[in-house]
Amino acid sequence: MLGKATCQCALGFTGEDCQYSTTHPCYASPSCLNGGTCHVLSQDDYECTCQVGFTGKLCQWADACLSHPCANGSTCTTVANQFSCKCLAGFTGQKCETDVNECDIPGQCQHGGTCINLPGSYQCQCPQGFTGQHCDRPYVPCAPSPCVNGGTCRQTSDFTFECNCLPGFEGSTCERNIDDCPNHRCQNGGVCVDGVNTYNCRCPPQWTGMELFG
């Protein structure tokens, strides 16, 4: 198999095909600082791939974001040798360290609702008869239904309801799956696995059957 041809460059030229002058910034002097790698783009242009922790065209700046200065889930961007934090909604400050108190804004909660400030957010505690993020909607039981897991909602007064749960569920909104394992009959080391209104036995390798009768 023939070897690959190589070029022996004349004085003053370099590169795989002798296409670059030795005065090119990548060859004439260390253009990229702090261990950065120089890549030739054209006869006169280049770019630096920086080591971790450095940034800038010449890798001349320490990456100010490396110390994770931005708080509360914000995004850090390096600008020159400084950092800039883009805050999530509900936070402010140079490092997004300050929680915005949305309850200072008049009228957040309507119809006499009480505003409760939360980290990055707020919540309205609505008076009886109203609902919604701002207590801005009349509360109508069962519209929409608060019952989950197939439960059926029944309105019991202007402001109250009850949920009729499917077998296997319980709770004021049918939110809990009843644990069917306390009275299980798994034998011979079988492990009970709860289901919905039923259970299964996870058998050891040498046994089989719903309840592992020996």
Q: What is the CATH number of the domain that holds 189?
A: 2.10.25.10
Instruction: Specify burial of residue 201 (Cβ count, 10 A radius: 0-12, 13-18, 19+).
Output: buried
pLDDT in tens, 135-153: 999 999 998 999 999 999 9
Q: Does the pLDDT at position 154 exceed 80?
A: yes
Compute the mean pLDDT over every residue in the chain, rounded to the nearest whole number.
87
Does residue 108 sit in the same domain as residue 151?
Answer: yes
Judge whether 3 lies within some domain. Answer: no
Q: Is the pLDDT of residue 161 over 80?
A: yes
Q: What mean pLDDT do residues 38-47 have?
A: 82
Structural domain containing residue 37: 13-60
The answer to the question of residue 8 being in a domain is no
